[in-house]
Amino acid sequence: MKSFSAVTVNNKDMIEIGKTLSDIASSYGLKIETCSELIDLSSVGIEHAKCIDDKLIADILGENINIQKDKNQRDICGCVASIDIGAYNTCKHGCLYCYANFSDKAVKNNIMKHDPKSPMLIGNIEPGDKITDRKMDSYKEDQLSFFKG
């Protein structure tokens, strides 16, 4: 598999590249959004986004919700607090941009341990495993509103 390396791109080039990508995406009815970028690319049709987006979650649920920003992320990150339900090195797709897999060997090993009848993503509950119930509060807002969102 070919590898690639990252290069630093100045703002002028980023705007030019962003415009080209935005135009291509638009021609296919798609939109591009940035994640944790300082630069404002809205002038070329690219808005800031959140991977864990409280507004999108509220729209899907049809409920107003109140979730705070994830304090464990970078300052510029807009994501709201969340709980991972997966595990690193478990996805078979192998996307080059994905941070969830960092070892092909571990992925193959974990896939071999997968048991569809197990309550666990990988393997089974073993002696010595500690299972902890997590206290979860609802993020739904009980306050009625005259306005959506």
- Concatenating the DSSP letter of every residue in 100-147 gives S---HHHHHHHHHH--TTSSSSSS---TT----PPP----B--S--SS
pLDDT band at 135 (very low <50, low <70, confident <90, very high): confident
pTM recorded for the entire structure: 0.66
pLDDT band at 62 (very low <50, low <70, confident <90, very high): very high
User: In the predicted model, what is the mean pLDDT of residues 118-145?
Assistant: 87
How far is C-alpha 25 from the chain's CA centre? Answer: 20
- pLDDT for 148 equals 59
pLDDT band at 1 (very low <50, low <70, confident <90, very high): low
User: In the predicted model, what is the mean pLDDT of residues 98-103?
Assistant: 89
Compare 1 and 3 and report the one with higher pLDDT: 3
DSSP 3-state assignment of 47? Answer: strand
